[in-house]
Amino acid sequence: MGTIVKVSGLTKSFKHNTAVNDLSFSVNEGDVYGFLGQNGAGKSTTIRMLVTLITPTAGEIEIFGMPLNKNRIEILRQIGAVIEKPDVYKYLSAFENLSLFARLSGVSLSDAKLMDQLDKVGLAHRAKDTVKTFSQGMKQRLGIAIALVHDPRLIILDEPTNGLDPQGIADIRNLILHLSRDLQKTVIVSSHLLNEIEQVASRVLIIDKGKKIVEGNALDLFDPAQTIVELQTFDNQYALEQLQISSWAQHLQPQRDSAILIKIDRLQIPQLHRDLVDMDIQLISIQPRHSLEDYFLQVTSANQHVDTYSS
């Protein structure tokens, strides 16, 4: 599969605040790419740069193999995006909204095609109802239908489950899976809800304070057989130097605060402990972290609130 999005050294500064800091990542064709981080981590700022709503301070963005700054119009014609809450006309019906936005996009669709688009997002039965009667989840689905009206190659959804009840969250989750599996779309979805990203994403990027913390396949990052082991030592610099030249180097995770993190199978913990002793690393504590929540909290700032599960 080819690379759809390639971001290199992306930075965005607002006066004294750097919202995105030297961020690099790639999205492959067919991915459901989970963009995960706490509120304020820099997700929305990054997405706004991807759709040219704001200009980067530094860095490069390539989409469909073309530089975004030189091929803006051609690239945006192949992207569908829902940024925050969809901006729709509440006194028009779902069908009328979709028809209007199709014309604004320069797309000519028959009534049957428009109804097919509404059916894809589960709104065909409410096509003639005014949007003011819709729940927030239904408005989100209509927004996604509008984003799909020109048959884009790439769909970008920024916090699509914000403010939704459990049924609305489940509907959006199922729609994302439908877009990927049935319509063969590449999807970037940002969220601070760990459980939602776990259920839909094939690849995941975790960012914190504008910086990339970890990127990889969801199955690897969220493998329940894997354990994050947190080490506290009397001399972390010495410990890291020893670990980096040992067989454990490949298991080291980005260090947070005063802890050293190693991702291994839980059955490897006894051997790790023996090797630490042999390397003369003086331990204060060695603590396994088993859950997804523990993992997420360990790689993001511990002093901020994280919503790990929808409610």
CA separation for the pair 33, 55 (Å, rounded): 22
pLDDT of residue 291: 54
Which pLDDT belongs to residue 75? 96
For CA atoms 262, 264, 266, 272, the dihedral sign is negative
Distance CA 140, CA 147 (A): 11
> What is the rounded end-to-end Cα distance, in angstroms, of the chain?
36
Provide the token pair at 109: 């669709």
SS3 308: coil
**H/E element holding 246?**
none
Q: Which parts of the chain register pLDDT below 50?
A: 302-311
Residue 132: the pLDDT is: 94
**Which residues are CB-neighbours of 192 under 8 A, at least 6 positions away?**
36, 37, 38, 39, 41, 43, 159, 306, 307
- State the pLDDT at residue 1: 65
Residues in the chain: 311
This prediction's pTM: 0.77
- What is the C-alpha to C-alpha distance for residues 46 and 44, in angstroms, rounded to an integer? 5
85-88 LR contacts (CB < 8 Å, sep 24+): 85/136, 85/139, 85/140, 85/143, 85/162, 85/163, 86/139, 86/140, 86/142, 86/143, 86/144, 86/146, 87/143, 88/131, 88/139, 88/142, 88/143, 88/146
Region of 22 (left: φ > 0; alpha: ψ -120 to 50; beta: rest) is left
pLDDT given at position 308:
40
According to the model, what pLDDT value does residue 302 have?
Answer: 45
CA distances in angstroms from 210 to 122, 158, 205, listed in the order given: 35, 16, 12
Rounded to an integer, what distance in angstroms lies between the CA atom of residue 142 and that of residue 164? Answer: 14
- Can you point out the beta strands (E) in 136-282? 154-158, 186-191, 203-208, 211-217, 226-233, 252-256, 259-265
What is the torsion angle, in degrees rounded to the nearest 10, for the CA atoms of residue 75, residue 81, residue 84 and residue 86? 130
Domains and CATH numbers, the chain: 3-216 (3.40.50.300), 223-299 (3.30.70.2190)
Q: What's residue 155's pLDDT?
A: 95
Residue pair 297/258 in contact by the 8 Å Cβ criterion:
no
**What is the amino acid identity at position 297?**
L
Neighbouring residues of 103: CB distance < 8 A, sequence distance ≥ 6: none
Residue 64 belongs to what H/E stretch?
none
Question: pLDDT at position 86, please?
Answer: 79
pLDDT of residue 169: 87
